[in-house]
A and B are shown apart, each in its own frame.
Chain A
């Protein structure tokens, strides 16, 4: 029973979207780390920040708490867990696909040796592999600004982190 309840709360919490990139849920991002329910129905949710100063974190905390209350659990604590540090490798395949469709190049995957598995950052508009970085940072700390060498469109790239 407890497992079913935890799964239900976890699904509800996982549906919270990132206020900066609203096509992604926190489950897609891989920042929802754990959900626990104790004997007196107190819920603990652990989430990890993408970056130390991520301004979306407080909004996400509040949204998660609200979702858990909506699921029938009044007492909820949303903990911020730093260790182990979040990495883009925890982003789901669904999350990567949604990002591409949204016009943001997803982070490249890394193998066990931390090498990037695929060298080119592909243009999310035309799919060309020939793109260049224009700036190290973009509208959020987790993105960089690039331009496509083929269709010339500028686009954002969710950086490997």
Chain B
């Protein structure tokens, strides 16, 4: 790890910043490739919201860890093992159903996380969260509407949505893990307890799946490691593409 982050709160904000940045990039990969023009616009607009949230969180991270590292340095000058995003957001876009399933599972988690952070003792983090909660509410609504249309649609769309959920479900366990970092920020009132978010996440996701005539996948495989910099194979390829321009032309600006 090259990230110098003494304060656990800095590690915590970095994790969420990386979640936002990585999912933002994945969604941006749909640009010009979405099933319809409206969806192209929707997915890239959601990506833009997430990028804005990532920027605010990177700035806060650099204030907390005292490095003063720039937003660009966070995004483009760290290596794969330095990123501490969850594994769910880095998973490949797949077909549209996989992207919708990833949005449903992650937006539900993010909404509960931001709601809890709205009451953070870190006032800057609370302000970022209060702003983001309005945006993510809308992202979740978008994902919910598509889950209903695909799940309760044709036999083909139902099967694709079912397969997408089964593929991504194992990665949701990691979202609620606790470790020394979360223990510290929870104790100081900086963040809500991840395990307490679980009940709200379960009931929210279950309700959408029920209405969409989809079943909650059952799986015992729970891959983990993202929060410690251990990622799935696809992430390195994504990062190489994302960072290529900045690394080829150091200091380049628009």
Contacts and interface: CB of A to CB of B under 8 A. Distances in A.
B134 A85 contact: yes
Interface in A118-152: 134-141, 145
Given A52-B132, A82-B131, A134-B38, A141 B49 contact: yes
A111 interface: no
A51 B47 CA distance: 12
A138 B46 CA distance: 11
B148 interface: no
Interface in B119-137: 123-124, 126-128, 130-132, 134-135
B181 interface: no
A54 interface: yes
Contacts of A86: 131
Band of interface residues on A: 20 to 34
Given A51-B135, A52-B56, A137-B45, A83 B127 contact: yes
A161 B142 CA distance: 15
Contacts of A49: 52, 131
A156 B135 CA distance: 18
Interface residues of B, number: 28
B131 A85 contact: yes
A105 to B, nearest CB: 17
A54 to B, nearest CB: 7
A52 B134 CA distance: 10
B48 interface: yes
B141 interface: yes
B42 interface: yes
A137 B42 CA distance: 5
Given A55-B48, A161-B134, 14 more contacts: A52-B131, A53-B49, A53-B52, A82-B56, A82-B124, A83-B127, A83-B130, A85-B131, A85-B134, A135-B38, A135-B42, A137-B38, A137-B42, A137-B46
Interface of A: 49, 51-55, 82-86, 134-141, 145, 159, 161
Interface of B: 38-39, 41-42, 45-46, 48-53, 55-56, 123-124, 126-128, 130-132, 134-135, 138, 141-142, 145
